[in-house]
Amino acid sequence: MKLFAEPDDKVRLDVYLADETEYTRSYIKQLIDRGNVLLNGECPKAGTIVKKGDEIDVDPPEPFVAAEPDPTIPVDIIYEDGDIAVINKPQGLTVHPAPGNRSGTLVNALLARLGSLSAINGALRPGIVHRLDKNTSGVMVVAKNDKTHLSLSRQIADRTVTKKYLAIVDGHLKEDSGRIDAPIGRNPRDRKLMAVVPDGRRAITDYRRLETLAGHDLAEFHILTGRTHQIRVHAKYIGHPVTGDAEYGRGAVYGTCGQLLHSYSLTFAHPTTGEEMTFTASPPAIFEKVLRILRAKDGNDV
Positions annotated as catalytic residues are 133
Helical pair 13-20 and 25-33, crossing angle rounded to 10 deg? 120
Contact 204, 181 (CB under 8 A): yes
DSSP string, 54-72: -EEEE-PPPSSPPPPP-TT
* 3-class DSSP state of 88: strand
- Of the candidates 206, 208, 242, the one whose C-alpha atom is nearest the C-alpha of residue 224 is 206
The distance of Cα 152 from the centroid of its chain, to the nearest Å, equals 14
| Phi-psi region at 140: left, alpha or beta (left = phi > 0; alpha = psi -120 to 50) | beta
Distance CA 289, CA 295 (A): 10
Give every CB contact of residue 33 below 8 A, 6+ residues apart in sequence. 46
Distance CA 168, CA 243 (A): 6
- Of the candidates 60, 136, 144, 74, the one whose C-alpha atom is nearest the C-alpha of residue 105 is 74
- The conformation of residue 149, written as its DSSP 8-state character, comes to H
Phi, psi of 7 (to 5 degrees): -55, -35
Task: Say if residue 134 is exposed, middle or buried (CB neighbours under 10 Å; 0-12, 13-18, 19+).
Answer: middle
